[in-house]
Structure 1
Amino acid sequence: MQKKYVIIGGVAGGATTAARLRRIDENAEIIMLEKGEHISYANCGLPYYIGGVIKDRDNLLVQTPESFGGRFNIDVRIFSEVTDIDADSQAITIRDHKTGKEYTENYDKLVLSPGAQPVKPPIQGIDSKNIFTLRNVDDTDRIKAFVDDEKPKSAVVVGAGFIGLEMAENLHQRGINVTVVEAAPQVMNMMDPEMAAILHQHFKEQEVGLYLQDAVKAFRPNGDGLSLMLSSGEILNADFVVLSIGVKPDSHLAQKAGLELGNRGGIVVDEFLQTSKENIYAVGDAIEFPHPLTGESSLAFLAGPANKQGRILADNLVYGHKRKYQGSIGTAIAKVFEMTAATTGLSDKALAQAGVPHQSTIVNGGSHAGYYPGSTNMVLKITFNPEDGKLLGGQVVGYDGVDKRVDMLAAIIKANGDIYDLQEIEHAYAPPFSSAKDPVNQAGYNAENIIKGLFRPLSPYKFHEWNHSDSCLLDVRTPDEHSLNAIEGSINIEVDKLREHLDEIPRDKNLYIFCGVGLRGYVATRILKQHGFEKVYNLSGGLKVYQTAIAEQNNPLKFNSSKDAVPVKEDGVMESIPYISTKMLEVDACGLQCPGPVLKLKEEIAKIGPGDEMQIKASDPGFYNDVASWCNVTGHTLVGRSKKGAEITAVIRKKNEEAKNALSKMPEGIQTIDKGDNKTIIVFSDDLDRALASFVIANGAASMGKKVTMFFTFWGLNVIKKQNKPRTKKGVMDKMFGLMMPGHAGKLPLSNMNMGGIGRTMMKQRMKSKNVDALEVMIDNANRSEVQMIACQMSMDVMGVQGEELIDGVKIGGVANYLEEAEASNLNLFI
């Protein structure tokens, strides 16, 4: 007997069910109803079409209604919305949006594939123009048209899940200044915080703003753009906003029909994908199903599970209830700018919430053999049951090979495997593709060592809670590494000399062992355990993961909502571009893990002469900061550094013993005196270029944690005048001085080629085109960085300047104030 199947909704779940039904039942009547225009499109590719990575819109349309209906002999009806389901009479009511008419259709079997809908909370102004959501092709067309036609320069993405981060990346790809706002403490909330922290630091490298633990309270019009009022009190301006706060199951029709809904709002289905009503089934984002690892109700907003469900359901509809759906473990991956982040199974925090016993370990590994060029670093974390070793979850963040590793982990979890299966998993190996002992294998070995009690791991956050009274930090790296970035209070005994210094290590305290990536720490714990030390812990992932996890996670950049938007950087520091000379030693340290790049640097710089330069390339993420610290400690000059993808390039000039004072080659007009500890700058000139130099140095020193004092005297007072000064009562001479001097920082002349102000204008335009902050911005940054600015009282009296004319934050003082600060300084500049 001919069966009549009616499918509500297309895309992954509905379209797959329909196609499979036809392939196994040529005689069935199949009707597909879609309230929109498109029945099968690549929704995961939508952000990449907006970003211009996917050029042709038609490539997003997997099947058109005509092609799908023609090939599979399916009655496809678009613009047809089902408004009611009568489960008892097995009939549905349909509204044709083209004609406005309603009609009914009977069914033998009904399949619901309504998908999910974006969460749109009741925030003031959320319906303002220039606020978009992204869920389907129509949404994509609207955003793409706005970006193409209006050519916006700034955008805020609200929400930092997969879609939010993909949108941020693709808008950034279009040259738009992007800020991401996320109410949670991290991006990608399905990951653990120390893994998400790697992505947070990557935001800084990409100059993308990031505001975590901050929610939008209101949207307000701001010219052609918007202002976002955040719960922290911050105000962000943007030309447009993309909401990616999350999605929820579109289950209103099922609820209206009396179908059972779960506690997460999804349509409850059994293992055969049947709902609580006979002859009604459901697939896709809208269904709620027990999680394979915890048994708790879960949702899976992923195309992969929806496609698999469609095939299983079609077989069950034709052949009877024979194929069981096992559920989804949530395997997902996203490209986040130049990095890749992936997850499968459950994180530590999800398992803790579910009350499932678990343990975890972190591995730093290479995408392939380190000795083969191009190897990049990845961080891999697995979570497992400490009793039987069952694998419960995995997370991977890196540049290359992340997809391969997360798929390996997912295969083991889906097969109900354990950490011993990880050790034995067989992978294709050749130096360009992997290592003989893959990071996934290594994670399995680490887990076994933990289960057997060979070492106890310590998370970065537990490690950070150490205190002197009951704990001792033992750094087992080399003395050179320790000198670069020592943790205050730690003692340094390198692992190879540990046995010679056992009597120097306290036995009555917790020993927190750490190294660069965790391997030498493990070796040290084994030595100490076998020499009678009991309370020994190894920092999981080493300093590389720890320092990323405890660093500032936000990146509070601000952008203007205008066509001329430029970033307002909180610290005012611009990174230098490596200078490449013709005579240079080139060193390749790519593929080497910490401390390899620094040791290579130390070894190779001995081969060049004083004043010569070397260029070194490395792929270890920590090298970007390590090379700066190393140069600072050793006295060599870091000419510049850059980062492209995973590759870091640095240029170092070897120190010249005859020129120990690196400041001896200061530009004309700048003198130095070497005296004490902090940094002081006397600003005597009101030339724009000299004022810029003074604030670049001040902000740079402040960003390094130095106390900076700027003393403005005589003409330098003009630098710190308000642009909109209040009216003040002045004598004739004071007024004359005021007329002859620049009114504020925006009016300062150049020391050379001012040309009646033309040169100043050209300089400002040049700075703007090179994304160099304006002087006014640098002054504001100095204020936020707590740079102390002192105006000389005597100079103010002579020049006829009153305190009300100076910008906020300036302290008025005398020479004694300056001398007090100068006594505590080792750098004193006169500009």
Structure 2
Amino acid sequence: MSKKIVIVGGVAGGATAAARISRLDKQAHVVVFERGDHVSYANCGLPYYIGGVIKERDALFVQTKEKLTARYGFDIRALTEVTAINRDQKTVSAKNLATGETYEERYDVLVLSPGAKPVVPPIPGINEAANAFTLRNVPDTDKIHDFIEKKKPQNAVIIGGGFIGVEMAESLRERHLNVTLIEKQEQVMAPLDPELAALVHDQLRLNDVNLVLGKGVSAFEQEGTVLTLEDGTKLQSDLTILAIGVRPENELAKAAGLDIGETGGIVVNQFLQTKDEAIYAIGDAIEVMDRVSGRSVHIPLAWPANRQGRIVADNIFGKKTPYKGTMGTGIAKVFDVAAAATGNNEKTLKKYGIKYAAVHIHPSSNAGYYPGGMPLAMKLTFDPENGTIFGAQAVGAKGADKRIDVIATAIAGGLTVHDLQDLELAYAPPFSSAKDPVNMLGYAAANIVDGEVQPVYAQEVDRIVQNGGLLIDVRDPMERDAGFIEGSVNIPLNDLKDRLAEVPKDKPVYVSCQVGMRGYLASTLLRQEGYDVHNVSGGYKTYAAMKRDEKAKSDQVKITAEPVKESTGGQKMAVNIEGPITATEVLDCAGLQCPGPIAQVFKKMGDLTDGDVLEVKVTDPGFIPDAKAWCDKTGNTYLKHEKMNGMTHVYLQKGSEQPIAAGSNEPAGTKGATMIVFDQDLDKAIASFIIATGAAAMGKPVTMFFTFWGLNVLRKDDIHVGDKDFMDKMFGKMMPKGTKKLPISNMNMGGMGAKMIRQVMENKNVDSLETLMKNAMGMGVNIVACAMSMDVMGIREEELIEGVEIGGVASYLGKAEDSNINLFI
């Protein structure tokens, strides 16, 4: 005799179970009760329909009642609510919501898949707020969609910064609403740790979402049009979305005497059975085992519900397939980046008291020399003793999904950090690098497990320095000029071995670089010299993201949902200009790294007249703050930026007003910059011209005075001059002739090092020295060769490249007198 199987809930888990049961036994009598009017729909796509990305409502429906019935033959009873489970009689009480009819339905096996319901806290005034909505199902979606179409709201407030809250923020910005996102915790997206969440915060703020963290809503006033925060701030809201979270739908199970866990989920065994052997439960309603820690958790996600639906069908027919637990693998699109995570993050491991270590890396999504690569920020948590992988997180515009998928697979397979090193992953320049970021995480983590590196984390650095700890910044001075950790001491990596006398051995030493790699090299050097050394995981880039987020939070003032009209900085800035801007000129800087885009903007602006608009296309995420600072210094106007197809379009207007530098009584940009270039090393020459073009782009008159060995930077590579005496000829033969022959200051290795750094620059889309020199001259940089040094070195004027001026020390000092930047390189 065939079994009669009753399923309560017909969306993800319930529909999957019903379909699998019908495939296993076509004689089985399957009845599916669904309280709503729709089954098997894509509830994860609901925000995107509201935002207009999904154009057609029908696209949300994976299957219809009619199609499922025709294909599988089971009995779907929509708009019917199960009101009670009668375990002794093996029946359920049902009510037809359309007609009011009530009846009993017998079962041999009962599957509970009622899902979860949105959390609606008892905030004063919330019940009177006609403009407040939750988002869980199709009717909720229709209400929000219709409200936007009919009421045309301008200001929206989203309460809750989880997946739904963040996705709704983007969707409502797509509809051109002013959006405020309120999260009572200090960060959005709880699966991420704070330093990764900071990057999500950046993306939200970059797209004009007012982000309010660490504050809850205390009251709804004026029928929901005014929201009061816990600190008294009042926000105007035409539309409010409650995205605070969900709770398991456990009322049926609880009333039937089934066990409910600490998380509120229905308790099941590994075969998804409740304590009643005839009743199974699946999906968002149940408590599951955390696959990493073994703890009981409630993780409402689509994959577990669908997997459990298939497993429960197998077990009903005696297959005995265990559910192995949930890792919580998830991903969200946040404007131009994806934020993904799997397993246990640092917060969870601390909560459970599990000993762990972590590594942070900042790779590119694909080979650096192939166009279109985008930065990734990644974090791996693991057991520092045996390398067991606990979890991973990634935030980036490209490639976050596949890296987290690989690590989720590694966790499921019981792999360790050492095994990550051995994964042979698909590689071609458009898709990855020869050492995939997953491999790099394995290398970095294995160094810790093997005792080769002692990590220290960005969150700890300020306290360490304040307590007298020695933090060495091993970056080059030019990098440090763009930002550094307060209290750190700068000893560039290439100088470290010669300056060990400056580093005391009687206390721990901490090292930091930009992303962690050079810090690792420094720590290996110091460790071999007997130092107790610790490397800052993720380097300054991780630290800076956290500090940037801290500053944004501290700057958080009492805001409203009104659009921002002007900035508090010196530049004229229209942040929320609506509608298209017609550009006078378009400048394509895609693929260029700093200072390329700013240098190109400076040259192009020289061709424009006051009031003209320049549209700049960039892929460098650092260009926006650079452009704002440049406008501040040069009297131009930063209009707005927008994202399209992975490209940032920045609109700048040539201004007619002379800006005033902060704290100064004279116009910005009038003081010049001078530098003496004494050295012939390739890397120092590159740094010199990068600084020169940057200063010129800021409107400063720049003079570069080349003397002694630095003259070799200016020599032609194809010129032979006769009539030289023996000593001049010997100098000429021994010195590098032309930029292609210049050595680098460290690890030159007979010229191999110079070739390697040129290749790296090409791979990273950084301009070559020759291009930098050409650009500098084109921007009006004055290049002067020291006449006295030329005579001493036996260099003639005809040996120098075109455009070089011959001068003496007096000409340099005259320029230096009028400059406020003087460098010796």
Normalising by the residue count of structure 1, what TM-score does the alignment of the two structures yield? 0.73
Report the Cα offset of residue 466 of structure 1. Answer: 2.5
- Distance change in 2, residues 1:619/1:366 (3 Å): farther
Which residue is equivalent to 2:48? Answer: 48
Report the Cα offset of residue 317 of structure 1. Answer: 0.8
Which residue is equivalent to 1:504? Answer: 502
Report the Cα offset of residue 293 of structure 1. Answer: 1.4
Question: Following superposition of structure 1 onto structure 2, how do residues 300-379 of structure 1 map, counting pairs within 5 Å?
Answer: 300-318=299-317, 320-379=318-377
Q: Is the 8 A contact 2:178 2:209 kept in 1?
A: yes
Question: For residues 524 and 630 of structure 2, what CA distance do their matches in structure 1 show?
Answer: 30
Which residue is equivalent to 1:62? Answer: 62
Which residue identity lines up with residue 82 of structure 1 in the other structure? Answer: V
Question: For residues 661 and 494 of structure 2, what CA distance do their matches in structure 1 show?
Answer: 47
Which residue is equivalent to 1:293? Answer: 292
Q: Is the 8 A contact 1:16 1:311 kept in 2?
A: yes
- Distance change in 2, residues 1:385/1:233 (3 Å): same
Which residue is equivalent to 1:519? Answer: 517
Q: Is the 8 A contact 2:453 2:520 kept in 1?
A: yes
Which residue is equivalent to 1:247? Answer: 246
Question: For residues 143 and 427 of structure 2, what CA distance do their matches in structure 1 show?
Answer: 46
Which residue is equivalent to 2:120? Answer: 120
Which residue identity lines up with residue 126 of structure 2 in the other structure? Answer: I
Q: Secondary structure at the match of 1:274?
A: coil
Report the Cα offset of residue 271 of structure 1. Answer: 0.8
- Distance change in 2, residues 1:566/1:289 (3 Å): closer
Which residue is equivalent to 2:535? Answer: 538
Which residue identity lines up with residue 267 of structure 2 in the other structure? Answer: V
Question: Following superposition of structure 1 onto structure 2, how do residues 145-156 of structure 1 map, counting pairs within 5 Å?
Answer: 145-156=146-157
Q: Secondary structure at the match of 2:499?
A: helix
State the Cα deviation string for residues 411-467 of structure 1 (Å, max 9, x = none).
101112111221122221111111111111101100011112222222111012233
Report the Cα offset of residue 6 of structure 1. Answer: 0.5
Which residue is equivalent to 2:76? Answer: 76
Is the aligned partner of 1:101 residue 2:98? Answer: no
Question: Following superposition of structure 1 onto structure 2, how do residues 528-567 of structure 1 map, counting pairs within 5 Å?
Answer: 528-534=526-532, 536-551=533-548, 552-554=551-553, 556=556, 565-567=562-564
Q: Is the 8 A contact 1:192 1:347 kept in 2?
A: yes
Which residue identity lines up with residue 150 of structure 2 in the other structure? Answer: D
Question: For residues 619 and 581 of structure 1, what CA distance do their matches in structure 2 show?
Answer: 21
Q: Secondary structure at the match of 2:322?
A: coil
Report the Cα offset of residue 672 of structure 1. Answer: 12
Question: For residues 601 and 618 of structure 1, what CA distance do their matches in structure 2 show?
Answer: 7
- Distance change in 2, residues 1:74/1:216 (3 Å): same
Q: Secondary structure at the match of 2:76?
A: strand
Identify which range, 372-381 or 551-560, moves more after superposition: 551-560
Question: For residues 606 and 165 of structure 1, what CA distance do their matches in structure 2 show?
Answer: 34
Which residue is equivalent to 1:23? Answer: 23
Which residue is equivalent to 1:216? Answer: 217
Which residue identity lines up with residue 19 of structure 1 in the other structure? Answer: A
State the Cα deviation string for residues 479-524 of structure 1 (Å, max 9, x = none).
1111222333322121122212222233334322222211111111
Is the aligned partner of 1:238 residue 2:230? Answer: no
Question: Following superposition of structure 1 onto structure 2, how do residues 635-654 of structure 1 map, counting pairs within 5 Å?
Answer: 642=641, 644=643, 647=647
- Distance change in 2, residues 1:424/1:620 (3 Å): farther
1:471 aligned to 469, 472, 494, which one? 469
Report the Cα offset of residue 663 of structure 1. Answer: 12
Question: For residues 113 and 246 of structure 1, what CA distance do their matches in structure 2 show?
Answer: 18
Which residue is equivalent to 1:157? Answer: 158
Residues paired across the two proteins, number: 652
Question: Following superposition of structure 1 onto structure 2, how do residues 160-239 of structure 1 map, counting pairs within 5 Å?
Answer: 160-221=161-222, 226-239=225-238
- Distance change in 2, residues 1:373/1:262 (3 Å): same
Which residue is equivalent to 1:666? Answer: 658
Question: Following superposition of structure 1 onto structure 2, how do residues 620-769 of structure 1 map, counting pairs within 5 Å?
Answer: 620-622=620-622, 624-625=624-625, 642=641, 644=643, 647=647, 666=658
Report the Cα offset of residue 368 of structure 1. Answer: 0.7
Identify which range, 497-506 or 623-632, moves more after superposition: 623-632
Q: Secondary structure at the match of 2:486?
A: coil
Question: For residues 141 and 606 of structure 1, what CA distance do their matches in structure 2 show?
Answer: 46
Q: RMSD between aligned alpha carbons?
A: 3.4
- Distance change in 2, residues 1:530/1:647 (3 Å): farther
State the Cα deviation string for residues 315-339 of structure 1 (Å, max 9, x = none).
1112x15211101100000001221
Question: For residues 80 and 195 of structure 2, what CA distance do their matches in structure 1 show?
Answer: 47
Q: Is the 8 A contact 1:484 1:626 kept in 2?
A: no
1:406 aligned to 368, 386, 404, which one? 404
Q: Secondary structure at the match of 1:500?
A: coil
Q: Is the 8 A contact 1:272 1:321 kept in 2?
A: no
Q: Is the 8 A contact 1:587 1:615 kept in 2?
A: no
Question: For residues 345 and 457 of structure 2, what CA distance do their matches in structure 1 show?
Answer: 14
Q: Is the 8 A contact 1:41 1:63 kept in 2?
A: yes
Stretches of structure 2 lacking an aligned partner (at least 5 in a row): 576-580, 609-613, 669-819, 821-825
State the Cα deviation string for residues 806-829 of structure 1 (Å, max 9, x = none).
xxxxxxxxxxxxxxxxxxxx9xxx
Q: Is the 8 A contact 2:387 2:416 kept in 1?
A: yes
- Distance change in 2, residues 1:138/1:439 (3 Å): same
Which residue identity lines up with residue 666 of structure 1 in the other structure? Answer: Q
- Distance change in 2, residues 1:582/1:600 (3 Å): closer
- Distance change in 2, residues 1:408/1:638 (3 Å): farther
Which residue is equivalent to 1:139? Answer: 140
Which residue identity lines up with residue 251 of structure 2 in the other structure? Answer: H
Question: For residues 171 and 264 of structure 2, what CA distance do their matches in structure 1 show?
Answer: 31
Report the Cα offset of residue 229 of structure 1. Answer: 0.6
Report the Cα offset of residue 629 of structure 1. Answer: 6.9
Q: Is the 8 A contact 2:234 2:560 kept in 1?
A: no
Which residue is equivalent to 1:273? Answer: 272
Q: Is the 8 A contact 2:469 2:509 kept in 1?
A: yes
Which residue identity lines up with residue 568 of structure 2 in the other structure? Answer: D
Identify which range, 613-622 or 131-140, moves more after superposition: 613-622
Report the Cα offset of residue 292 of structure 1. Answer: 1.5
Q: Is the 8 A contact 1:642 1:648 kept in 2?
A: yes
Report the Cα offset of residue 89 of structure 1. Answer: 1.7
- Distance change in 2, residues 1:610/1:105 (3 Å): closer
Which residue is equivalent to 1:262? Answer: 261
Q: Is the 8 A contact 1:209 1:556 kept in 2?
A: no
Which residue identity lines up with residue 523 of structure 1 in the other structure? Answer: L
Report the Cα offset of residue 532 of structure 1. Answer: 2.3
- Distance change in 2, residues 1:375/1:234 (3 Å): same
Question: For residues 101 and 284 of structure 1, what CA distance do their matches in structure 2 show?
Answer: 28
Q: Is the 8 A contact 1:557 1:570 kept in 2?
A: no
Question: For residues 406 and 300 of structure 1, what CA distance do their matches in structure 2 show?
Answer: 18
Identify which range, 6-15 or 573-582, moves more after superposition: 573-582
Q: Is the 8 A contact 1:579 1:651 kept in 2?
A: no
Q: Is the 8 A contact 2:119 2:246 kept in 1?
A: yes
Report the Cα offset of residue 598 of structure 1. Answer: 3.9
Stretches of structure 1 lacking an aligned partner (at least 5 in a row): 591-596, 654-661, 679-825, 827-831
Tell which has more relative contact order, 1 or 2 (C-alpha 8 A, sep 6+): 1
Identify which range, 510-519 or 328-337, moves more after superposition: 510-519
- Distance change in 2, residues 1:575/1:673 (3 Å): closer
Report the Cα offset of residue 165 of structure 1. Answer: 0.7
Q: Secondary structure at the match of 1:322?
A: coil
- Distance change in 2, residues 1:625/1:473 (3 Å): farther
- Distance change in 2, residues 1:375/1:266 (3 Å): same
Which residue identity lines up with residue 335 of structure 1 in the other structure? Answer: K
Question: For residues 582 and 620 of structure 1, what CA distance do their matches in structure 2 show?
Answer: 20
- Distance change in 2, residues 1:517/1:82 (3 Å): same
Normalising by the residue count of structure 2, what TM-score does the alignment of the two structures yield? 0.73
